[in-house]
Amino acid sequence: MPRSHYTGLAGQSYDQPAQAGVLLVNLGTPDAPTAPALRRYLGEFLADPRVIEYPRWLWRLILHGVILRIRPARSARAYAHIWTAEGSPLRVGSEKLATALQTELRRHPSGPVRVALAMRYGAPSVRASIEQMQREGVRRLLVLPLYPQYSGTSTGSVIDAVAATFKQLRWPPELRIVNDYHDDPGHIEALASSIERWWAARGRGEKLLLSFHGIPQRYVDAGDPYFRQCQVTARKLQARLGLDDEQLMVSFQSRVGREPWLQPYTDATVRQLAADGVKQLDVACPGFAVDCLETLEEIAMQNRDFFIAAGGETLRYIPALNHGEEQLASLAALILRHTQGWPEFARHPASVG
């Protein structure tokens, strides 16, 4: 018999009662803060054509000939600064969010709902998570990338991974995908409430800097909506917090390579603010659902040092929403809206709280 190209269900799992599934997808993380683990992780991440839009033959030469020989050791040292006894903060925080959201959703839907987590790069993979959910009886699947603002480099890549998985399934589940939630009122309220709660406990700095992850400017020039969506998030958050243009600023972090990325750059901005006389700066990162290397090491450590070296006194990082009550409420409401019409959610309104 010819070998099948499609993956079927194991045993009699298709006889299980149908249920809905919510798959949270985050970027991913290495297995350990070591050069070999970073080489594996970066090899998968940087090989994605959604992330690096260079001719494949040229990029393979650069990636394997230069980058994967140098960057893993440097990245391993950065990860070592934030690694915890539980493991990678992004992995641990994402798992806690999935678990807490599962509990939150059990308070609302009328039928069984399964919440699972996948990483776009590393483990658990999108394919492994979807196949496991299917074995457990998930027949309707909502994919929620944990990227509030859409970019082809992030959400677009998740969609690619989901599509590649579905092409291999003999009986794919019904599918819906949350494209973005950058201007969702519940999300804006969650961000604002979290910042206000943090200020109430610690006082407020002279300025609030919103630092988003950067992407190459040419991606935006080619039609990526990411820059505009970041600006919309920032303006809505500014209005909700009641801040003026002198009190709130926007910048973009994590650039690599020599080509222009979205500006202004975060590292240059914190240096300039310190040089201008700002002594206490608060920084939040509304593009990150869960704290990770880019927030805990790049912002709270590297950019803090840049700020102090340039004459500032204190740079304070305001944590991501993580698995706090604000994020749980906003994501639960978002999920209920995107699953309207599914039997598991049929008895409940499209909003929570």
Does residue 106 fall inside a structural domain?
yes
Does residue 40 fall inside a structural domain?
no
- pLDDT tens profile 122-175: 999 999 999 999 988 899 999 999 999 999 999 999 999 999 999 999 999 999
> Residues 176, 189: one domain?
no
Residue 273: give the domain boundaries: 185-317
> Residues 195, 294: one domain?
yes
> Residues 21, 155: one domain?
yes
CATH number of the domain that residue 245 is part of:
3.40.50.1400
pLDDT above 60: residue 191: yes
Find out whether 174 is annotated in a ligand binding site.
Answer: no
What residues contact 110, with CB distance under 8 A and at least 6 apart?
343, 344, 345, 346, 347, 348
> Residues 159, 271: one domain?
no
Does residue 110 fall inside a structural domain?
yes
> Residues 271, 340: one domain?
no
Find out whether 213 is annotated in a ligand binding site.
Answer: yes
Does residue 39 fall inside a structural domain?
no
Task: Count the Cβ atoms, other than its own, within 10 Å of residue 91.
Answer: 22
Does residue 138 fall inside a structural domain?
yes
Compute the average pLDDT of residues 69-91.
97
pLDDT above 70: residue 200: yes
- Total number of domains in the chain: 2
Does residue 8 fall inside a structural domain?
no
- pLDDT tens profile 37-48: 999 999 999 999
> Residues 242, 123: one domain?
no
Say how far apart CA 79 and CA 26 lie, in whole Å.
Answer: 17
> Residues 194, 291: one domain?
yes
CA angle, 120 then 14 then 111, to 5°: 75
Residue 15 Cα to chain centre, angstroms:
35
Q: For the chain, what is the mean pLDDT?
A: 94
> Residues 122, 230: one domain?
no
pLDDT above 90: residue 4: no
> Residues 167, 234: one domain?
no
Does residue 4 fall inside a structural domain?
no
> Residues 194, 245: one domain?
yes
Model confidence at 18, pLDDT cuts 50, 70, 90, reads confident
DSSP string of 269-285?
A: HHHHHHHTT--EEEEE-
The end-to-end CA distance of the chain, in Å, is 56
Dihedral sign computed on CA atoms, order 156, 175, 350, 99: negative
CA angle, 281 then 282 then 288, to 5°: 140
> Residues 23, 114: one domain?
yes
Tell me how far CA of residue 304 lies from CA of 31, 292, 298, 300, in angstroms: 27, 16, 9, 6
Instruction: Tell me which range, 107-116, 209-218, 334-343, is most confidently predicted by mean pLDDT.
Output: 209-218
DSSP string of 65-118?
A: IIIHHHHHHHHHHHHHHH-BTTB-HHHHHHHHHHHHHHHHHHTS-SS-EEEEEE
Per-residue confidence (pLDDT) for residue 349, from 0 to 100: 47
Residue spans of alpha helices (H) in the chain: 35-45, 56-62, 68-82, 89-106, 126-135, 155-168, 185-202, 217-221, 226-241, 266-275, 293, 304-309, 325-338
> Residues 18, 161: one domain?
yes
Does residue 189 fall inside a structural domain?
yes
